Amino acid sequence: MASPVRICARWYQGRFVALSFARYNRAAVQRLKDALSVRAYDAENKEWLIPEWALEDVEDEFGLSISVAGRPPQHLQDPRYSVLSVCRDAPDCVLKAAYKALAFELHPDRNGGANAERMKQLNSAFQAISKERGF
């Protein structure tokens, strides 16, 4: 019988949560990938980086209650980054993943143009950030 999955979580650069598997199998990793549209993998620390708001999806997928170690740092949020629901210190891969997931979710072809204004804000914020960071 497979051992139950155990997930450790800690705050990572503001509004991100770094998840690491203390006990897992390949199926558990695949379930995490399938459950989250916005994620990035930090190979150096062997952690999955997810936005704070996606933690509930992980809990639902695995049937766990995950408590995050430490406290999130309090800092002023740049409004461009708030549109993407990420903090200013977020790695480029997390920014790109957040943009892709939100663009897919808010695209006017998917919802009949209901979120057209929010989509414009998302595009302008991502363009400004990508220009600033040079990607």
The residue ranges of every structural domain in the chain are 6-62, 79-133
pLDDT in tens, 8-61: 888 776 667 888 887 777 887 888 888 777 678 888 888 888 887 788 888 888
| pLDDT for res 14 | 63
DSSP the chain: -PPPPEEEEEEETTTEEEEEEEE--HHHHHHHHHH-SS-EEETTTTEEEEEGGGHHHHHHHHT--PPPBS-PPP-PPPHHHHHTT--TT--HHHHHHHHHHHHHHH-HHHHTTTTHHHHHHHHHHHHHHHHHHT-
Domain 79-133 part of CATH 1.10.287.110:
yes
pTM: 0.49
pLDDT-derived band at 127 (thresholds 50, 70, 90) equals very high
Give the residue-averaged pLDDT of 96-110. Answer: 86
